[in-house]
Structures are given as C-alpha cells and as structure tokens.
C-alpha cells in the first residue's frame, strides 16, 4: 500500500485506461439489452479486459431482436 501512496500516478493511469472502456461496454450492453453482461461489466473490475472482450467479440454478433428497435417500439421476442 505504501507503493501506491508514493506512486499515485499508477492508480491515475489505470483509471484513465479502464474508464473509457467500461463506459463504451456499458453503453453497448444497455443498447443491446444484455442485462447479464451489463451487470458483470458494472460490478467486476478486470482492468478493461472484460470490457474489451465484450466490445470486440460479443457485441459484434448480430442480434435480430434489436436491429430495428426505436425508442417507442416494443421489443420483439423470438418464439422457440
């Protein structure tokens, strides 16, 4: 703990690195209505590793339910 007290710039750099990734990942998860991912990204702090995985791999997959959603349109549900 003394190391971080004397080298506060490390904590500042970590925050500057992780905060934008977390913001983008949370925004995408909310837009896609991925509640599980949203909660995981919000709670877990993985130094942006989880966020990067979500942004570049998970959220790129097409999701037919939300393609044409507007603000006032109901959510279309798939019947299995």
Chain segment 59-76, per-residue pLDDT in tens: 887 766 555 555 555 556
Alpha carbons 60 and 64: distance in angstroms, whole number: 12
Residue 11 is assigned to a structural domain of this protein:
yes
Q: Which domain does 50 fall in, by range?
A: 2-66
Quote the pLDDT of residue 2.
84
Q: Is the pLDDT of residue 21 over 60?
A: yes
Residue 76 is assigned to a structural domain of this protein:
no
Residue 78 is assigned to a structural domain of this protein:
no
Q: How far is CA 21 from the centre of its chain?
A: 7
Alpha carbons 58 and 38: distance in angstroms, whole number: 12
3 state SS of 19: helix
pLDDT digits (tens, 9 = 90+) for 30-63: 999 999 999 999 999 899 999 999 999 998 877 6
More confident residue, 9 or 75: 9
């Amino acid at each position: 703990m003394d190391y971080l007290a004397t080298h506060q710039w490390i904590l500042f750099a970590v925050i500057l690195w992780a905060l934008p990734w977390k913001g983008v990942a949370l925004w995408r998860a909310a837009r896609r209505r991925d509640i599980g991912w949203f909660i995981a990204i919000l709670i877990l702090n993985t130094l942006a590793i989880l966020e990067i995985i979500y942004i570049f791999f998970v959220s790129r997959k097409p999701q037919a339910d939300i393609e044409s959603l507007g603000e006032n349109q109901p959510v279309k549900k798939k019947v299995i």
